[in-house]
Amino acid sequence: MAVNFAESVFPPFPFTSRSVPIVSDNFDFAQWKRDPAGPVILKGILRDWPIVQDLKRCGTDDARLDFLSRGFGSAVVGYTKVPASDPFMGYDENGRENFEYAPGTCKLDEFCGLLRKSLQDRHSDIFYARGGANELRTWRKFSQSIRPLGILTGMKPAGEGIWLGSGRHISHLHQDAHFNCFAMITGVKRVLLYPLEAIADLYPSPFYGGISGTTSSFVRPRTPDPQRFPRFMSAAKHAWVAVVDEGDVLCLPPCWWHYVEAAPGLNLMINTFMWALPPAKVRQFEVMMRRSITTALKLSTEELSGVRKDLYQEVARGTGNLKLSASARALRRRLSRFLQPDIPGYWQKIARCYYDHYVFQINGHPVAAYPERHATWARQEASLKPRFRHWARFIRGRARMIWRRRMVTGIVP
């Protein structure tokens, strides 16, 4: 898709950004998986998928909806809707979630009817079936109409979702702990991206305490409020933008922030999350972070700076000799687990970034937009109930994925 098209359908951001590189056939994807420097677009890699070709051949969105209804109409869809006047799914100006993830459920056949109405009238509600509520492997027939991508061989899927909407919807800025590949089947999306190190300028939620358990930003990047988010424009030096056209795959390294806008018109995307570390390690990291953030709140600034110095300067040589209290020493031991040689370099970088922001608080208050939420989060962490809930969610997600992998194909071979 020509850049001019993107410029004509997506309003400009109020800052400049870099374009995500489009990589060619001889791109060393194996190396990228080992050490991903940033996001990349694999242009047209899905062009020969039957479903991409079939939908292209349909010619109009009406015909595409007929095709989807006929082929996969009995699949069950979880969806949400937002008003056409503000199709943003994220936080409102008071930091409250302004949408529900998937309050509606129906058959795809019926959902196509809702999409059709929405596409015909630009003032009617916008409908969106979001991936977290629509696992690719539960849409059995659909999953047979796609092909696994050879380049993803060896990666372990942590979840695969189908995203189907009537266009113009916007997904808020957030990040996930996995590698993430967006396969665009029909329609166009624009994705704004930042590496994790931009965190302080993006006004994040508490750690994994944002929308749907992600770390989320309170800022709306297209119309940022300079009074409430004065640092946001400084994040521009880290900003990347990708226009993902049908047939393209956008690949994101773990923990990259992303904000996703759909162009007007029907759009269908499949995404797959892939584990960045063995699943048990990802879980250990999350638990370790939660404990470390709460421990850090009980230590003095001097002690924390001692732990940080000891951790970063001495971890390689193991010669730390600062006088630290028992809790500070325990904290340093815990944090150092994810800076060891068995942890891939990209994850060590992620760990340092999180440590600096949420544990050592070197960027100022870690939840600068709503400081009280950090305190509430820490109080909840101290009780057993949320811990049990996180653990149960992790086990349930794992079990579901293992079961579904047996039944049908996804895009990870």
Ligand X SMILES: O=C(O)CCC(=O)C(=O)O
Residues that bind ligand X (CB under 6 A): 131, 163, 171, 176, 180, 189, 260, 269, 271
- For residues 78 and 133, is the Cβ–Cβ distance under 8 A? yes
Q: Which residues pair with 258 in a beta bridge?
A: 174, 193
Tell me how far apart the alpha carbons of residues 394 and 356 are, in angstroms, rounded to a whole number.
26
The residue at minimum Cβ distance from ligand X is: 171
Contact criterion met (CB below 8 Å) for 157 and 404: no
Minimum distance from residue 84 beta carbon to ligand X (Å): 16
**Going by C-beta distance under 8 Å and a sequence separation of 6 or more, which residues neighbour residue 213?**
390, 393
Least distance to ligand X, CB of residue 340, Å:
29
- Between 189 and 332, name the residue whose CB sits nearer to ligand X: 189
Tell me whether residue 219 or residue 260 sits nearer to ligand X (CB atom): 260
Of 78, 56, 76, 77, the C-alpha closest to 67 is 56
Residue 232 CB, nearest distance to ligand X (Å)?
Answer: 20
Nearer to ligand X, 10 or 360 (CB): 10
Q: Smaller CB distance to ligand X: residue 134 or 361?
A: 134
Q: What type of residue sits at position 13?
A: F
With beta carbons less than 8 A apart as the criterion, state whether 335 and 292 touch.
yes
The residue among 52 and 244 lying less far from ligand X, judged by its C-beta, is 244
Cβ at position 249, least distance to ligand X in Å: 12
Q: How far is the CB of 156 from ligand X (least distance, A)?
A: 17
Nearer to ligand X, 68 or 269 (CB): 269
The tokens 């082929």 sit on which residue?
71
Minimal distance, residue 175 CB to ligand X, in Å:
8
Sign of CA dihedral 309, 311, 315, 319: positive
In the complex, minimum distance from the CB of residue 57 to ligand X, in angstroms, rounded to a whole number: 24
For residue 355, the 8-state DSSP code is I
Catalogue the long-range contacts made by 226-230 (C-beta closer than 8 Å, 24 or more residues apart). Answer: 228/203, 228/369, 229/203, 229/369
Q: How far is the CB of 235 from ligand X (least distance, A)?
A: 18
The residue length of the chain stands at 413
Q: What are phi and psi of 271, to 5 degrees?
A: -125, 155
Query: Which residue, 160 or 356, is less far from ligand X as judged by CB?
Result: 160
As a whole number of angstroms, the distance between CA 346 and CA 37 comes to 8
Measured from the CB atom, the residue of 161 and 306 that comes closer to ligand X is 161
* 3-state secondary structure at position 83: coil
DSSP string, 208-274: T-SGGGSEEB---TTS--TTT-TTGGGGGGG-EEEEE-TT-EEEE-TT-EEEEEEPEEEEEEEEEEE
| Shortest distance in whole angstroms from residue 187 CB to ligand X | 10
Give Cα 172 to chain centroid, integer Å.
10
The encoded tokens of residue 143 equal 């999953």
- Closer to ligand X by CB, 112 or 260: give it: 260
Rounded to whole angstroms, the Cα distance separating 413 from 262 reads 28
